[in-house]
Amino acid sequence: MTRFVTITTTLRPVSIKPNWCGKGLAIHYKVQIIDDEPEFVKARKHWAITDIASGQRAGPYFRGSLKQAISFAREWDALFAGLTDEQRSLIATGKHPQWVKDYMRDLCAIEDRYEKGLK
């Protein structure tokens, strides 16, 4: 069964099929509304990580392979799945600094590998 999630865009909510879907987070390409229709912006190694319950992006776009984005999202999936409506923001849960730390750790590791010519 194909799972779709509803994400919030600047114009309206849209239903999309993500590249990966956990219990609390989904990973997909950036979505734009063009001529009132949603379209994926398929930038290489550029992923949106979205909070499934709110349809909002959970943070900045993730730069790296899909495999790396999934690895990062899995670390946070259970936390997002367990949030109440009042806790939707990571700032409200007190976890925002850790999210940023983990995001920057993964981003630096990815950039180091590319500087060394690894993939």
Report the b/e string of 19-42 with b at 16+ CB within 10 A: ebbbebbbbbbebeeeeeebeeee
Question: What is the count of structural domains for the chain?
Answer: 1
Residue 25: what pLDDT? 94
- Asked if residue 103 lies in contact with residue 62, where contact means CB atoms within 8 angstroms, the answer is yes
pTM, entire model: 0.75
What residue numbers bound the domain in which 65 lies? 5-115
Helix, strand, coil tally for the chain in percent (to 5): 35, 30, 35
Q: How far is CA 99 from CA 16, 38, 43, 73, 105, in A?
A: 25, 28, 23, 10, 10
Residue 39: what pLDDT? 86
Assign 107 a pLDDT band (cuts: 50, 70, 90).
Answer: low
Residue 84: what pLDDT? 77
Residues 43 and 64: their CA atoms lie apart, in Å, by 11
Residue 58: what pLDDT? 84
Assign 29 a pLDDT band (cuts: 50, 70, 90).
Answer: very high
